[in-house]
Structure 1
Amino acid sequence: MPFDFLACPACGAKVKQYRNPLPTVDVIVELPEGVVLIERKNEPLGWAIPGGFVDYGETLEHAAVREMQEEIGLELEEEQLRLLGCYSDPARDKRSHNISTVYVATATGTPNAGDDAAAFGIFPIDALPEPLCFDHARILSDYRSKKAAGEL
């Protein structure tokens, strides 16, 4: 069922509450040494592509730029973002149904662990750490394939 019922706080009548997926963004940040991943300090634990939830009233591109600043302290421009794809498997995140728009970009600055990151690392695409959270192994595999094919 796509919705549950809630009680209206004013009159107590039943009102519909729709359950919709939550939009997120992730960015594969390319540096000369490899891609930047964060080690999550919150559940689920493991390595992940930096990213996060889109705020209400925010574009996907602005959310990507903001999340890179918050998560790894790197500056990037919206114009630098290249779309890798959208990932919407309802089981991709055990916490809730999230849909991620994944970008690829280069950035300036020195990465550091911020916000939800316990640590960060820069990894060659053929030497990724484990475990990778969510469906990030699939996303990074898609990235590797598209890079090899010259599509990114």
Structure 2
Amino acid sequence: MVVDDDGSGEVADIVAVRETERELHILLMHCKYSSEPQPGARVEDLYEVCGQASKSAAYRRDITAMLNALITRARNRQKKYGHSGIEAGTFERLVRLRDTARTRKPQLTIAIAQPGMSKAKASRKQMELLASAEVYVREIANAAFEVYCHA
């Protein structure tokens, strides 16, 4: 399943869910635009997206509630805009995932994408902010933390 959940009150900009016999692999991807055309060492480009990643760690406590939120938001988008935001999979599959979530061990990854950050030019402040977000996500959600940026 892949859901484009971008918007106010989102779970994440993009939510991907893959089910195995024993696990539910969930990726919460938070994306933000760059404040400038060229990637660099601007810590300001990371504040909001790191905050969103940290906030979404709370979903680890109740995966069923997270899936309920996605279902409600998809239903509301369908009514309002004529599309649900479900990019891969079906609404029915999303409901089935919710219904089986309690029988699967959640494996959560929280990721951020910030094209305004340059890996090669990352500043100390950027790295400290990313480290703080990573520690929080790992401790609160027992989740992996990934960063996607410009090389």
TM-score (norm 2): 0.29
Structure number having the greater helix percentage: 2
Which has more radius of gyration?
Answer: 1
TM-score (norm 1): 0.28
Higher relative contact order (Cα pairs below 8 Å, separated by 6+ residues) = 2
